[in-house]
Chain A
Amino acid sequence: MTDIRHAVFQKILDGIEDKTIQVTDNTPLIGDGSVLDSMKLVELCLTLEDFAEEKGFEFDWTSDQAMSRSRSMFRTAGSLASEFTNQMDAEK
C-alpha cells in the first residue's frame, strides 16, 4: 500500500468511533454498512482538503468531473483513496 493510500485510510479510521473496525479497500463509506455518518464523511472531506494542500494540490470533492470519474468516489475507502491519488497525480 502506498503512503498516500495508507494516510487516507488512517484519516477514515480517525473518523470511526469503533476502533476495532479495520479499513480496507472495500470498506463502504456511503450506503449500507457505511462506517461513517454524513457529518463524519464531510469532515473527512475537509481533512483530505487540508492534506491535499500539504501535498501541493487541490482536492476536489464536489465537481461533476470528480464525481462522475469514479461514479461517486465515496463508494468505498479504496475508491476514495484512488480518486485522491489520481487528483494528486493529475496536478503534477
Chain B
Amino acid sequence: MIVVTGSSRGLGLAICERLHSLGVDVFGLSRDVSNATFPSMSCDVSSYEDVKKVVLTLKKEDKKVSGLVNAAGIASMNLAVTTPPTVSQKIIETNLLGTIFCCQLIAPLMMRNKCGSIMNFSTIAVSLGLKGESVYAASKAGVEGFTRSFAREMADFNINVNCIAPGPIDTSLLKGITTNQINKIVSQQIIPKQFSPDAICDLVELLLDARSNSLSGQVLHVGGA
C-alpha cells in the first residue's frame, strides 16, 4: 500500500488518481476526504495525534505499507515582513512538521518489512530563492535537509527517501500567481517549460519502482534548477 498525504487536491490528488488507475493500493490522507474516490482517511498532517491514529488504523488492518508520498502542503505568497505570524506558523507546521511527523510515524511500518520508498516535496522556490516566498521556501528547505539526513537513517532498513522539487505546476497552489510571474520562474528552469501534474506522477512511479533503488537522499528538480 502507498500512503499519500494531501490527497484531496493538487499533486496529492493527481498522484492518488494515477496510482489508483494503475491498480496500486492507495491510501489517501487529507483533512477533507468527503469526495475521495479511493480509500482515504481524514488526517491533519500537522497533528501528531492525527497521524498516529492513521498508523494505528493501518496496523489494525494489517496493511503492508511500501511507500509514502508526503504531498500535503500549503503556500502563501507574501513578503516575509508582511506575513502574519499565524500564517508563518501554519506553513511551517503543515509543510515541515507534517512531513516530519508522517515520516517518523509511518516509516516504522516500512522498517518492519525492510523495504520502501518515501517521497517528500520541496519546490523550485528553494533553489531559486524566489522573492515573496521566503517563509514557504524556508519550510521546504527544511524538508530538503530532513530528507537528506532521514535518508541516511533509513538506508539500514532498505528504505529510500527522496525529495521531489517541482517548478510551478498547474495546481490550486498557484492560485494568486500571475501568468507573468509563472513564466518568469519557468524561464529560470533548465528546461524552460511548465510541466503538468503528470510529470510529477511519472516521477512518483519511477521512485516507487525497484529500478530506482540506487537513489536516496536526492532532491529531484522537475524541470531542472
A residues engaging B (CB < 8 A)?
Answer: 38-39, 42-43, 45-46, 49, 58, 62-63
Contacts and interface: CB of A to CB of B under 8 A. Distances in A.
A10 B153 CA distance: 26
A62 B105 contact: yes
B156 A39 contact: yes
Contact of B111 (A38, A46, A62): A46
Given A42-B111, A46-B111, A46-B112, A62 B104 contact: yes
Contacts of A39: 156-157
A87 to B, nearest CB: 15
Contacts of B105: 62
Nearest to B59: A53
Interface string B145-168: 000000001001100000000000
B56 A58 contact: yes
Contacts of B56: 58
- Going nearest first, the 9 A-B pairs with the smallest beta carbon separation are A39-B156, A46-B112, A46-B108, A46-B111, A42-B111, A62-B104, A62-B105, A39-B157, A58-B56
8 contacts: A38-B156, A39-B156, A39-B157, A42-B111, A45-B108, A46-B111, A62-B104, A63-B48
Interface string B94-116: 00000000001100100110000
Contacts of B112: 46
Interface in B37-66: 48, 56
Interface string B65-105: 00000000000000000000000000000000000000011
B151 to A, nearest CB: 14
Nearest to B114: A43
A38 B153 CA distance: 9
A43 B156 CA distance: 11
Given A46-B111, A62-B105, A63-B48, 10 more contacts: A38-B153, A38-B156, A39-B156, A42-B108, A43-B111, A45-B108, A46-B108, A46-B112, A58-B56, A62-B104
A23 to B, nearest CB: 22
A58 B111 CA distance: 18
